[in-house]
Structures are given as structure tokens and as C-alpha cells.
Structure 1
């Protein structure tokens, strides 16, 4: 079976508009939550979000790319550009049919759909729809547009498994290269869920924090006073490459994609299994896929969204798999980025990879008192980053519908 490595990384997020600034802010534990500027949220239960700031799309995409694409696709294009340039592969030296794109998204063009329905009503329900309405809303369009822009003619599709979408895409990309179906695959995820309908819908589910008086401290994974998640937005993109191909061209290699797995909780439409049964088996499957044991893992980037039920079930699952591993550190970086839904796994996989390359475990910020129900044997890194040798890192993602996606990375 072919080995797969990572040769490019790209980020556009509330924590930074490129890989360098993103990692600097994550390591330094900077909160990126503030009052929502995208729309007037004063009538909503939640008035804040983690928005991308100080960023001009016109500096990265041309006018038609902006006009014809939903914001989530624009985010994907920007992050993909950075990752592809970072990888440095030469399209003239590889068949375009050997390069694929597999991207994840939970909501796709949600903002476009919302705006078009609003316009339809404002126009007296007359059927004057934008000709780009359908392409802009399609969940697969980020993958399609990356392929079109760069001429990648290999495998191309989108993975949709709610907040596990990125890790689903990552697992698919890993396996297609393993099977010899591609030499390079651009993968990751993107979402743009900071809109009235999205925030209103998640408020109705009681999923979002309502700590309006202190947005910057709202996301507090594993804390006894956690009350819901912080909505984020953006994209993360990784370039996966067959190991021999990367070595032959002298590519910079960040880490190896060691293994991945998916399971289902088969329990509830929004809640995770209270004992973490699906998550436990998913992590075990990922370890088996990688040919590793639990004692070899040094870092787990937890899905932990700062919800009362989800954080507790995940902590039980991590303890069940890694409880005897005294060399394991856990952190929940959504406390800084917010929850990027279908892009979360990509962003957090990039964090896991950077933990390996830089020997730094980023912190879980805002967490003051760890919930006493969280298993005592978990070393959760809070408040400040720690220096630690990381040979193997794991990223957890869990999505509505019971989807569990786990990705494992290791030092080459």
C-alpha cells in the first residue's frame, strides 16, 4: 500500500488569513470572537461569532470569481491557492489526470440560498432568479472550482458529513492515493455559516453559546460552565501526495498521513453518543489503519465544541482509548477559531500537523475549571501552549447525524 504525505498547507480562518499568522495566533492562544458584523444580530440569542477579519477577497480573486461564487467557495479557493503554492508541484511535470480534488463542506452555499429566497420574497415572489443561484449553492462547487482553476483532471468530488466533512474528505484522499488512483490530491474543507438563517437555526437547537457579554471567552471546551459553541468560518486545505512522488521531486514534507477512519453513533440527529461508543471505535479503527497503538499517540486535537453533552462524551471516548497513555496531551482549539463546521477537520488537521513539525501543543483557552465529570486521567492543555515532542497526532471530528471522522498523522 502506497504511503501518503502532506506537502502543502493553506488556511483562511478567524485565527489568521494565512498559515503563518494562523499558527502564530493559535500558539499564542488568541481569541477571535467578537460582536457579529455580518448582519444585525441584536434580535438573536447569540450576538457574536468568530469572523474572518482584515481580509480583502479582491486581493486574492478576480471580480468574476467573487461575483459567481458563494463565500464558502471563495474561502476554499483562497486556502487552496496557498496550499498549492506551498506544495510547489509543477503541473507541467505531472499528468493533470493524476491530480485530484476532494473537499468537504457541511452547508455549501447556505448564504446564497438565504439571500436568493429573501430576494424572491422582496420581488413579490416573481421568478427572477440569479443564473448563478444553483451553481453557487452546490456543496460540490468548491472542489469543482479548484479543479477548473488549476486544470486538475483527476478524482473530483465533495464529502458531506456535517462537521465531520473535512475528515471524511481527508480519509477519501488518503485512500485514493494509497490505491494508486492519484499521485496528488488537494483536500480539506470550507464553510461560511455566519448568516441570519444559520445563526438562527443553531440558536433554535440551543447549540450556540449565548455569552453575549463576553464573546472572547464564550468558547470554553471541557469547562464546567460551557454553554455552547462559537460559530466560525473559513477554509483549510492540505496537499496530499504519494510519498515516492514527493521524494522524487524534492518536495518539502510536513508529515505522513498515517491513517483515518469513520464510524456512526447511530444514536441521535444532533447529540453524540453519551458514552462515546462510535468515537471510541473510530479512534481504534484509525489506529489499526495506521498500524499504530494508543501509546504512540502524543497529541489529540479534540473536536470539543464547548457543548455540555458533546465535550463530556468525547472526553470519555478519549479516556477509553488513551487512558493508559501518560505521554498524551489533549487540546481544543475551537476555543480560538470557533467551530468552522465542515472546515473544522481541515483546520484542526493542519494544527495537528504543525504540532508535529514544531513540537508545540496549542492551548485550550478560556477553560478555567475542568468539568469534574471529565475523566481525571486526561492531560488537557489549558491557558498556554506547551513545548512537547510530537511524533503522532490525532484529529477528531463529529457531525450531526452521528458521523465520526478521525485522522492520524505522524512524523516522517
Structure 2
């Protein structure tokens, strides 16, 4: 494996700000969301706001790991397949029985999986190693103390921390929360995002296209990305390239919004409606030293909700979301793991990048070999390659050429 690099002499480009600077500016806009108690059934995917400690041991009592017979191991010392020991069966103990009588010497209790082990018993013999008797059972197996017994506290001790703050609540984590008796959990409210897609050329998918028109995809894509990041999304589409109509569409949607996320209309040309409408309203527009995604905007709309203005080319919009927006939404909602997993991978082919810009290229990662292959060109309109990619390669600003075999950082998207 090699790591030879041809490095440019300057790490910056005039009039462009570093990716880190814009990322910090966006991160400063969205504060942590409020904490509230939510029923377990509604907590999936949310972030735990406080450590969860178990008030009980788990299991809460010694119980049987098998369907079989609760016994005293000393009563079966001589038992084997050729000379089974016969024991009278004193009681049936199904799971959930609370009045479990003690086990008398020289007897057995028939017991079911999960049922409380009776006082006096120290082992369980699986029913498969017996004749299955109801009044008397013949056991052809010497039992070891503790065999097939789940001890109280074996999984979780009383007062132990079972989940830590910042943990994303998966089905298994909700299961353990329920198992220790939690009916509700303190969680951060998901950030509330208004996704605004502008452009007079946009047409709703399913409608006929006329010359000069394209189907609107950015709004749908970004709203889905917002939800995938754990936030809520409202999608406002087909805002025309008119400043007055832009404000008229936006104003009724502001209440309860944490972040306004726009796409398109931020470049240097004419009819850049987002830039025309938001400049001077608390939003600043800049150029970031990255490819794709150079034109960006951020700020607060008239001192109110945060605004992040993304480029209109679909790959630029999605890459910009991954770099600047997704981590902010997850951090605001209390997630400890706000960023995509990063791995080091070996390039399968040479890669050339522009000097002074941090480049994000689409790729396909092979976890077996640890190799990453470029997928699609660098063009910011090549959405199909992004749809098939499972990672983004992050190439630093100072790097211009990477030979095959070089190692690079990749962000795992799946």
C-alpha cells in the first residue's frame, strides 16, 4: 500500500473560504432541541437525553433457561442413562407463577422456561433428558449446580447504567429499556426543518415536461435526507424565481421551524431568487473551497429561524447536506454519533483533484479488500452515480494527484 501524493503549493484559493469555516458557521446556527419524556413506542431513532439506570437486576430473579425439571443436584449424583433416578414431581411452575413453593429434598418440580427457580433447587434438567413424567420423572443425567439456570442480575445489575446519553434508540435498546421497567424515556425533540425548493423550471414528477423544464427532485431528496438524519421535514416546492413570491411562500411556514433548508438560486448569475430574497435579511452568501458545492449561504432569516442555502445541482446539494447539515441536525437532536463513519481505504485507480479545493467524490467500497473504486465523474449533475455510491471520498485541499494504491478517507453512506 502506498500513500504518495502530489501536493499543491497553496492550500487556499482566493475568495474561497475553507470547508471547516463554513461548517462551523452552520453548526453555530442550530441549538440543541428541547428534552421531553416520550413513551417507549414513540422513541425509535431518537437520542436518549440522560443516562438510563436500571432500578432492578435483570433477570430480576433466578429462573429456568429451559423447559424441564427443577432439581437438587445432590439428588442426581448417581443418575446416568443406564440407571436413571426417579423423583416424584411436586409442583408445576409455569412462567409468571408468583407463589413458588420450595423444592423438598428427593423431589422435582416441573418448570417452564423463564419461570422462577424454586427455593432449594440449584439446577434444571431439560425435559429432553427425562421421560417427561407428570407425577414421577425418571432422569438419566447427573445435574451440575447452576445448570440451565439464569441467575438474578446476570445480565444487568441493580442501579447499573444500561443506556448512556446520546445513544440512538434502536429496537434492541428500547427492548432493554422496557425490560428494566422504563415506560417513558427523556429524549431530544427532532429538529424541525422546512425544505424549500425553488425554480420556475421545475415540474412535479408525473406531469408532462415541456422544453426547458426538469422534474423537481432536490426537494424530495433533501426532505428524505432530513428524515434519515432523524429530523422532521416539511417540503415546500415549486416556489418561482420571484423575490416577492418567495417571501410570500416562506412567511406562513416559519412558525415552529428550527431550520430553513433551501436548494438552488445561490450562484452568481441572474434570477438567483434565494440569494436575491435572503441577502440583507440576515443570510450571508459565500464560496466554499470544495467541489462539488462551492456556492453556499447561511444565517438567520430576519433574526428568526436558521437558514442553510445549498446549491441547486443535485450532487452539490446532497454532498453539501452531508458535509454541513446532517451533522448539525443530529447534534441538535442529542445524537452522540453525529457524523458518518469514516474509514481509510485504498484507491483502485489514480485520482486527480483541483488544487485548493476539498473534493468529495462518489465511490464504492469493498470492506473485504479495503479498497474503494470511484463511481461516476466529478460532475455535480451526475445524480445516478450518487444513487449507486455507498461512500464519499474526502480529498484534502492540498492534494492534487493520488496514484492507485493511495489511502484516502471515505465516509460510509450505507
Q: TM-score range by the shorter chain?
A: under 0.3
Question: Could you say which structure has the higher helix fraction?
Answer: 1
Q: Which entry has the higher C-alpha Rg, 1 or 2?
A: 2
Q: Which has the higher contact order (CA 8 A, sep 6+)?
A: 1
Question: Could you say which structure has the higher strand fraction?
Answer: 2
